Chains A and B, each alone.
Chain A
Amino acid sequence: MAKLPVSDQQLIELFGPHLNFQPPGGWKDESVHPPEKLVKTHCCFCGQQCGIQLKVRDNTIIGFEPWEEFPFNRGMLCPKGVKRYLQSSHPDRLLDPLLRTDSGFRKATWDESLDFTVRRIREIQEKYGRDAVAMYGGASLSTEKSYLVGKFARLALGTRHVDYNGRLCMVSAGTAYKLAFGIDRSTIPWSEIPKAQVLFVIGANIGDCAPITTDYIWRCRDNGGRLIIADPRITPIARNADLFLPVRPGTDLALLLAMLHVIIRDNMVDRDFVEKYTTGFDQVAASVRDWDPRRAAEITGVPPDAIEKAAHWFGESERAIAMHARGLEHHSKGVENCSAVINLCLATGKIGREGCGPTMITGQGNGQGGREHGQKCDQLPGQRHIADPAAREHVARVWGIRPDELPQAGYTAVEIMNAIHAGEIKALLCLCFNPLVSLPDSNFTREALSRLEYFGVIDFFMSETARQADVVFAGSLHEEEDGLGCSAEGRVIHWQKSVDPPANARADSAILIDLAQRLGRGQYFQFEDKDALLNELREASRGGVADYYGITYDRVDSEHGVFWPCPSLDHPGTPVLFTDRKFYHPDGKAHFMLAEWRPSGDPIAADYPVFLTTGRVVSQYLSGTQTRRIGALVEQYPEPRVEIHPRLAEQHGIVNNDWVRVTTRRDDVTLQALVVKTIRPDTVFIPYHWPGIRSANRLTHRTLDPRSKIPEFKVSACRIEKVSGPESSPDSRPAHANATEGR
């Protein structure tokens, strides 16, 4: 049922992506019609959550002004932030609900589209059972919307299968931090970064993916701090590294195990800290005994003396911070990778004090707040586990139901798609998620979506995924509804409503609440205003690890954000975790976790001899639903290109701008080469923001980390060859010919 009604090309003509270059009324309009007000809010892209002021006139966003008083970014913005305002008043904006017809989509009323959805959900659940319906949420939703997604799925749909696209982001880090500390949050705010003497950054392309963090890192260097960077590529910040470790994709763990080996061998362990505040050290110490740097060098390609030096710099410094992001986390051993970083910090006592600690750089807009209050398949509000009887009791009481009415844990995001493919799940409601571009192995995803008996999408633009839907509900942008977010630092912030949704589009939360009412569950979704919704969330989170009880809109506005946990209204919030050396496990200790070496799920072989890794560019965000519609951002990096080292390129007769076919065990894509010396010669890199024949995720594989279920985006096996050009395809666009512009 959920196949394309008409061709991609026809849908693109109707719904975009089209490029928006200018503010409403054109460049000259603002001098004639100045803004009526500046609204203090945040960027909608990425987990940095920079403060920004939006210029508003006539219920329309016409531009931006830096917000210099907001302490995290002090006015700084990356190009996505500068141009974010152009997503508003965009010509592609969905203004009405749409129903699929044989010849495309037609405008529908809300009654028609909602009633159709309710009827289909009921029919499918009567025929196949409640769990035949699944719900996808997303980590660009506000914290309240994320909370509503979890509650809506479990109480209104009555399904156990609800999960979100944060599953593709940093769940392996979250799992590792929960295992080690009992809490899933960065252990420090960014203000600690300049205080470190050593910064160890592994698998984090900070310049492109967390640009504002660069200034914190440079300030650390100004203070005399030394920078160690482990990455297969010389990224913009790696250029300034005091020590660069060119780790082979998929082998970070070997590097980390060897560093711990050296730290133990050369007596850099903080014995007093380990003894008093941790468990499990001896077992971990035994597990790294065989990991001398020589062995790790064979696996990682990092010289043994560089590994020794990194371990000594980190171990001997008084204050050191270890930062990581998707490069470490997107692996079938993602949890082990992050546990190994945590083990380095625990062994050397670098946690809970100034300028110390492990830090995950959460990537999505509300990547932190979106994973705290119940849209994860095994989670209830407050970072509670859904299998915990006390947690079920508490949340059931707040929601006014019996604990046994709460479903148990369901499938994770990729598992939901697997179950759709297998025919176990028949209906899907999708909000803030573009799985056709962002899930690994997109041919599999496309086939799975075509097997759905009902597919509803809530979105503000016609994403590639929405094209497959039976119903597309015109939802709301970031700036069209009040909500809280939580930044990568753990700072809870206010996304201030700046304008109303245009025409017949509606707030996402209003759509969910209306659906709940039509499903006969409206009594659980009665909220007078934004404070009423937040108050229920505060109660639901109360006493949990992610305790928001002390957080109100007034406090967030007057204090420039509040760091959770914040259990009471007079609590100052918790910027630095564990300053009292108390961890969130029942025993109060931090737990060393075993991290044992495993190869990746898509191994290199004679016919697939090159490593493929994927990632972001600075001017695009995630699956590109928003940023591929903003002209200036598209012009900055118009097409994905495959980065190849000149040595590898030469072996295949490839020069810059040549067309290169990259083939994995799933599929192939053909892109232009960007021949650069900034990547390992055994590795190629492709950014993943594009759909169709340019999509990196046609190549990636569905191997999951066994505990966190994060896919292994960061390493696949491929082969490359020079070809004359791409095969034509409906969604192909003219290639970009300027060699030096792309990167």
Chain B
Amino acid sequence: MFGYEFYIDPSRCIGCRSCLQACEECETHRGHSMINFDFIDREEGIQSAAYVCWHCDEPTCAQVCPADAIKKGEDGVVHSSLKPRCIACNNCVLACPFGIPKMWEPEQQMMKCDMCYDRTSIGKRPMCATVCPSQALAYVRPEDIAHRREKPSNTFVFGNQTITTKVYMMVPEPAQAVIIDAADYIWEARR
């Protein structure tokens, strides 16, 4: 969809896993979800994070592929490995700094989020971003995201590697310390 971008905002995520459930309903990979989802540390807090592939401008997965099986389309979408070429070597799975690619053992093929190109090419938003109740995953125009509290960034620094991506991460303005333990809010605990 022309003029739309994908934004991920973990501060909005409520951990409902609607994205995960909806992804496996998608036409091209029915029964398999491509969403990565985790509670960060459930004992310490309720923070959860759901994310899709970041679709790097220079995808590490494609760079390390010895079979040249991973292609980026003109729309910037990085695709699953091409079945005839993929040798299931797991290089991409190991190399991706975001941990996105998954090896599908029965098919001996790397599968990953393709940002629902089958949907976006006919004017529909990606399934996960359509259903996401908190809009932690959002597929909208840049002007629609600009007024949010958190602001978009698409530059990630992993040690010596700096990566720019098609998908944006929403990041907070510098925040004050956040108390995460219910006990520390209680009156008796503070007396």
Contacts and interface: CB of A to CB of B under 8 A. Distances in A.
Interface of A: 22, 27-28, 30-31, 63-64, 66, 68, 73, 75-79, 81-83, 207-208, 211-212, 214-215, 218, 221-223, 232-240, 244-246, 297, 300-304, 306, 618-619, 632-633, 636, 645-647, 656, 674-681, 739-741, 743
Contact of A680 (B17, B47, B186, B190): B186
Given A22-B31, A78-B16, A681-B183, A743 B21 contact: no
A239 B136 CA distance: 14
Contacts of B125: 68, 75
A646 B25 contact: no
Interface in B1-44: 11-18, 20-22, 24-25, 27, 30-31, 38-39, 42-44
Given A303-B187, A636-B17, 7 more contacts: A215-B135, A244-B185, A245-B185, A618-B17, A675-B43, A676-B46, A677-B182
A30 B188 CA distance: 59
A636 B39 CA distance: 13
Contacts of A77: 18, 22, 131, 133
Contact of B131 (A75, A297, A681): A75
Contact of B18 (A28, A78, A303, A739): A78
Contacts of A303: 185-187, 190
Given A27-B31, A207-B16, A218-B12, A83 B21 contact: yes
B16 A79 contact: yes
Nearest to B16: A618
11 contacts: A63-B25, A68-B130, A76-B131, A76-B132, A83-B21, A211-B134, A214-B134, A218-B134, A236-B13, A618-B15, A743-B39
Interface in B134-153: 134-135, 147-149
Contact of A645 (B133, B183, B187): B183
A232 B188 CA distance: 14
B110 to A, nearest CB: 20
Contact of B134 (A207, A245, A302): A207
Report whether over half of chain B's contact residues are helix, strand or loop; otherwise say mixed: loop
A165 B125 CA distance: 38
B180 interface: yes
Nearest to B38: A740
A211 B133 CA distance: 6
Most A C-beta atoms less than 10 A away, residue of B38, B42, B125: B42
A221 B134 contact: no
Contacts of A212: 133
Contacts of A214: 12, 14, 133-134
Given A22-B31, A82-B18, A214-B12, A677 B183 contact: yes
A31 B27 CA distance: 8
Nearest to A683: B182
Contacts of A223: 147
A304 B30 contact: no
A646 B181 CA distance: 10
B99 interface: no
B158 to A, nearest CB: 24
Contacts of B24: 632
B48 interface: yes
B45 interface: yes
A207 B21 CA distance: 16
Contact of B182 (A83, A208, A233): A233
Nearest to B191: A303
Interface in B163-187: 180-183, 185-187
B25 A66 contact: no
Nearest to A205: B14
Given A66-B130, A76-B132, A218-B135, A239 B45 contact: yes
A222 B147 CA distance: 7
A34 to B, nearest CB: 10
B176 to A, nearest CB: 11
B184 to A, nearest CB: 9
B55 to A, nearest CB: 22
B16 A743 contact: no
Contacts of B47: 239
Given A82-B22, A743-B15, A743-B46, A645 B130 contact: no
Contacts of A741: 39
A28 B30 CA distance: 7
A207 B25 CA distance: 23
Contacts of B20: 79
Nearest to B48: A236
Nearest to A656: B43
B14 A237 contact: yes
B131 A239 contact: no
Nearest to B190: A303
Contacts of B18: 77-79, 81-82, 211
B188 A301 contact: yes
Contacts of B43: 646, 656, 675-677
A223 B149 CA distance: 8
Given A233-B182, A743-B39, A222 B148 contact: yes
A646 B38 CA distance: 21
Contacts of A207: 14-16, 134
A77 B185 CA distance: 33
Contact of B16 (A31, A73, A208): A208
A146 to B, nearest CB: 27
B105 to A, nearest CB: 17
A234 B14 contact: no
A678 B182 contact: yes
Nearest to A246: B185
Contacts of A66: 127, 130-131
Contacts of A632: 21, 24
Given A78-B18, A303-B187, A645 B182 contact: yes
Contact of A234 (B27, B45, B130, B135): B45
Contacts of A306: 185
A46 B47 CA distance: 24
Interface in B101-132: 125, 127, 130-132
A647 B25 contact: no
A302 B12 CA distance: 26
Nearest to B178: A239
Contacts of B132: 76
B42 A221 contact: no
A30 B24 CA distance: 13
A679 to B, nearest CB: 6
Given A81-B131, A215-B135, A681-B183, A740 B45 contact: no
A680 B182 contact: yes
Contacts of A221: 149
A679 B20 CA distance: 26
A35 to B, nearest CB: 12
Given A301-B188, A739-B42, A619 B17 contact: yes
A218 B147 CA distance: 12
Contacts of B46: 234-236, 238-239, 676, 678, 743
Nearest to B44: A677
Nearest to B15: A236
A378 to B, nearest CB: 36
